[in-house]
Amino acid sequence: MFENILIYFVVIPLVMLGLLALCRDIKQIRAVAVVGSLGLIALSVYLLVDYLGLRAAGNEAPMLYTGSWVWFEPLNIHLAVGVDGISIAMLLLSSIIVFAGSFASWEIKQPKEFFLWLILLSTGVFGFFISIDMFTMFMFYEVALIPMYLLIGVWGSGRKNYSAMKLTLMLMGGSAFLMLGLIGIYYHSAPEGGQLTWNLLEIVDNASIPHGWQSFLFPMTFVGFGVLGAMFPFHTWSPDGHASAPTAVSMLHAGVLMKLGGYGCFRVAIYTMPQAAHELSWIFLILTGISVVYGAFCACVKTDLKYINAYSSVSHCGLVLFAILMLNETAMTGAIMQMLSHGLMTALFFALIGMIYGRTHTREITEMGGMMQIMPYLSVCYVIAGMASLGLPGLSGFVAEMTIFVGSFKAGMADYLAGAGSLRLVFTLIACCSIVITAVYILRVVGKLLFGPVHDDHHRQLTDASWWERLSTVTLIVCVAGIGCFPNFFNTLINFTFKPAIFSVLGMN
């Protein structure tokens, strides 16, 4: 079992948990967190390189590094792991954000407990991305959700109890749907008389879910994951939750956890039930299309920085699900890139907001102004994050959005010309409009918060970023710019891997 490299994505956090429990003072805690997350980054980079090497050597299997160990025999539950390019991209993203998050919570109160929960959460995240067994996947999913309640409830700010409760309950509600869906898939995972399985690869190979069941199970799983992906109208946990969460938790949650939703929608809902995905995608297309513009419009009038960013996340994550539903290779590539891009960018945003909030003790943009004069470093980072968010070329947002638009426009036109309705086309155009609205709310915030005269003279004494804050932001900015400048690397990484899946989906066209 331990000869499989993927296991270490769970082992390292678990070891970190153990070490954290032994830590005596904050220095040791920081050391454990930093060394551990560096280890995770190293591991994921090694995995990336090794993976590319294997692919270059002509390994065409849909998942590499697969391994499977029986866990509960009667229900055929395994601890099954395996990765493709998408999972690797997500693992890389998660490890980077955990790293940046550790630095962003450098001076948190009650650090030991905080980091224990945070690392437990990331255990869940890593476990989720390496699993290919639906049951273990679900288990890790829950492991990632529960610590959120405590992290927000204890270390949060504002209406933290309400927000923590709301977030947890809504996500749990989503998991309820999800569980129904997963169990349904399990009971149809093999042809009559065959051995039932939770393993995604086997389920896809068997392709034995009856059509009628698909149209019931697809919405279940899609909504289940979609709640975490902040799909309209199940997004309201996101503004409140993010507004109350401490910095690192916001980062991790918006940066990685919301991606669990998109990843799950793709990997479970669409991967296993392509027919239903094809037939029912229109419902979710409408919902996600609405999310895209709706989140952006809502962000235009909010005055709380975290609310603005949370609504912006609704908009961007809506774009992820939207692109996935286009069932088009380019759009799906774009969706994965948007996940990466949004993860990094929004983590950067939340880190910066947390740092600004930590100094000014307010998040109302009406109570701040002229931050550029007071904390130039943070302000410049904020402008960069904003530019990434509104899709400036050279930063990650642009490539992701353009890939999505090109792909979904293609899907939309193909539908339209084939006489299959203009829904996709219309919603593609509507989603395109979001680039303008995004510009409006980003520039509104930048203008009010960073530029202009200093609003409050008390703010003049505030200091600029400390070294750990700089490290945290620089890490994220470098990644954002890296994706933005060299998109083709990620494009091929993602694109090469999910072709078989895509073809099985497109085969339905």
Ramachandran angles phi, psi of 474, nearest 5°: -60, -40
Site of tokens 């409050």 = 456
Paired with 304 in beta bridges are 364
Dist CA 468 CA 93 (whole Å): 19
Which C-beta is closer to another protein: that of 224 or that of 487?
Answer: 487
Q: Which one, 253 or 302, has the nearer CB to another protein?
A: 302
Q: State in angstroms the smallest separation of the CB of 420 from another protein.
A: 16
Question: At closest approach, how far in Å is the CB of 413 from another protein?
Answer: 5
Name the residue nearer to another protein (CB basis): 212 or 453. Answer: 453
Type of residue numbered 385: A
Smallest gap from residue 493 Cβ to another protein (A): 12
Least CB distance from residue 331 to another protein, whole Å?
Answer: 10
Q: Are 217 and 275 in contact (CB under 8 A)?
A: no
Residues lying near another protein in the complex (CB under 8 A): 165-166, 169-170, 232-233, 235-237, 240, 294, 297-298, 300-302, 329-330, 333, 370, 372-373, 387, 390-394, 398-399, 402-403, 405-407, 409-410, 413, 417, 429, 432-433, 435-436, 439-440, 443-444, 447, 450-453, 487-488, 491-492, 495
Nearer to another protein, 18 or 394 (CB): 394
- Residue 487 C-beta: closest distance to another protein, Å: 5
Q: State the DSSP H helix or E strand holding residue 297, giving kind and residue range, or none if neither.
A: helix 274-301
Spatial neighbors of 257 by CB under 8 A, at least 6 apart, are 121, 125, 144, 145, 148, 228
Cβ atoms of 431 and 320 within 8 Å: the answer is: no
CB of 320: closest distance to another protein in angstroms? 17
Helix (H) or strand (E) holding 71: strand 64-72
Contacts by residues 156-162 (CB-CB < 8 Å, ≥ 24 positions apart): 156/244, 156/245, 156/246, 156/249, 157/244, 157/246, 157/357, 158/243, 158/244, 159/240, 159/244, 160/244, 162/240, 162/244
Residue 273 DSSP one-character state: -
Shortest gap between Cβ of 70 and another protein (angstroms)? 39
Buried b (16+ CB within 10 A) or exposed e, 322-357: bbbbbbbbbbbbbbbbbbbbbbbbbbbbbbbbbbbb
Nearer to another protein, 354 or 407 (CB): 407
Q: Which is nearer to another protein, 463 or 488 (CB)?
A: 488
Least separation in angstroms between CB 345 and another protein = 16
Which CB atom, from 301 or from 420, has the smaller least distance to another protein? 301
Least Cβ distance, residue 495 to another protein (angstroms): 8
Q: 315 and 295 in contact (C-beta within 8 Å)?
A: yes
76/338 with CB nearer another protein: 338
Is 239:307 a contact under the CB 8 Å cutoff? yes
The nearer residue to another protein, 423 or 440, going by C-beta atoms, is 440
